[in-house]
Amino acid sequence: MKLNPIRTSISLCLTTRMMSSTAAMTTTTPKSGPAALIFLHGLGDTPAGWSSLKDMLPSIQPRLKDVTYVFPPAPTIPITINGGATMPGWFDILDWPIGLKARDDPKGMLSSVSKIEEEVSRLVSEEGIPKHRIVVGGFSQGGAIALLSAYRSSTEQPYAGCISLSGWVTLKEDVIETLSSLPNNNKNIPLFWGHGEYDDKVLFEQQEFGVKLLQEHGVTVSSSSYPVGHSSDPEEIRAFANFLDDLLYGSCEDADTTKTS
């Protein structure tokens, strides 16, 4: 039996533009500020599944209209739990559901991390947005790659932050080794982690385990859970927007202070 594509069930669906399957979907407002969000879709999905974030997030926090939004496409690869049939995926899935004992696909995971680093290099060279003003995030498999990109990298310049919606920590030993060797300012990339309490695909236990692991190694984590399965929740998107706005632009009080000082 083939696995159905795993998609978000956000109820606030907005009109989106379709994209080519061979290039990342990138949207920039006319007054784009020096910040970006790279957001990765889940298994079996496409960038169009989450591209409404470019409208949804600014509708909650208007300052986010100045963010450059990038929605890369996953490659089409054979998926073991799908009987080897191909579908969009950031890496192979070997076990189902995805609990704490789920096996990793290191080759596929690291290949996807490299693809995200290519997007970062493009944003730096073409858009003039430094890495420390780029947030990496994703849903499900995308969240797993976002976490790996943020907390396994040993580069001197960290991301501005990380967003994981229903994701999980992969290559745990590598992540622990990296975080243990980095100075505090490099490993403390703020993280927002939202997860459905009734998730039967990426099990809810992954959030508690991942949050604890990262916090124990110096990461500041804002975590929350919602009464849903493997999907997003309107309150989760609101919390996501508030986290991103505060991360990139500071509180409204800070902005007012800056203007009057």
Q: Which residues are catalytic?
A: 140, 199, 230
Write out 27-89 in H/E/C secondary structure.
EECCCCCCCEEEEECCCCCCHHHCCCHHHHHHHHCHHHHHCEEEECCCCEEECHHHCCCEEEC
Q: In what order do the strands lie in the sheet with 36-40?
A: 25-28, 68-71, 36-40, 134-139, 161-165, 191-196, 221-226
**Cα–Cα distance for residue pair 126/114, rounded to 1 Å:** 18
**Cα–Cα distance for residue pair 235/224, rounded to 1 Å:** 10
